[in-house]
A = this chain, B = another copy of it.
Amino acid sequence: MSDASRPIAILGGTGPAGMGLALRWARAGETIVLGSRDAHRAEQAAKNIKTRAGNQARVSGMENSAACATADLLVLTVPFEGQAALLKQLKPAIRPGSILIDATVALAAAVGGRASRTLGVWQGSSAQQAEELVPKGVSVAAAFHNLSAELLNGDETLDCDVIVCSDDPQASQLTRALAARIPGVRAIDGGKLENARALEQITALLIGLNIRHKGHAGIRITGLPSEAYR
């Protein structure tokens, strides 16, 4: 990345995960468009990020479809129960050639169950469900499931790796570059989109560890050669 003229639209971006990513990327000099169902809420959230990231930060807020139309780098940070409906609604607004980075996890909380359990998704994972719902020619990458929203919204350097899965090598590379802009994060190519299944399971495991041990768990991958980490 570092091409700050290429904005990143964070859809459903006023939740904790979206806000945290927006804060970190705004601080790194990226141009952020926060999307929300409610344009006013998005504007307020953008103001909030600007206050924290400094006045030079480039952050705006607008309704999800409008946000979508401003960018070809889209990050989806909604609870699983909202994912399919939002993608169907956004379909006409998504620009051809866009990259959709999906951070959704099918937690059982979506249907009133525990956040430490997952639902089975017919396609194999939330990311693969997203791929079925985006227009043709739009690439999907799965990433950012395992960063603590609470830590992202803080000021500390993170201690976590981001594994990126995508069937499109360019989408994977761009997503890894974005991940590496977050202080303390190393990005790792996790191969095909289908491997998102495992990434999404890890989130449920980490949520369980957080409940049990009262922490903000993340993961580091050890034992790979240094060129595997970005």
Question: Across the interface, do A191 and B219 meet the contact criterion of CB distance under 8 Å?
Answer: no
The answer on a CB contact under 8 Å between A223 and B228 is: no
Q: Does A137 contact B (CB under 8 A)?
A: no
Name A197's closest neighbour in chain B (CB-CB): B201
Chain B nearest CB: distance from A3 CB in Å? 27
> A163–B221 contact, CB under 8 A?
no
Main secondary structure of the interface of A (DSSP, over half): mixed
A198 CB contact (under 8 Å) in B151, B191, B202, B213: B202
CB distance from A217 to the nearest CB of B (A): 5
24 A-B Cβ contacts within 8 A? A117-B194, A159-B222, A160-B223, A163-B209, A188-B209, A189-B213, A190-B205, A191-B209, A195-B205, A195-B208, A198-B204, A198-B205, A199-B205, A202-B205, A209-B228, A213-B224, A213-B228, A215-B223, A215-B224, A217-B221, A217-B222, A217-B223, A217-B224, A219-B221
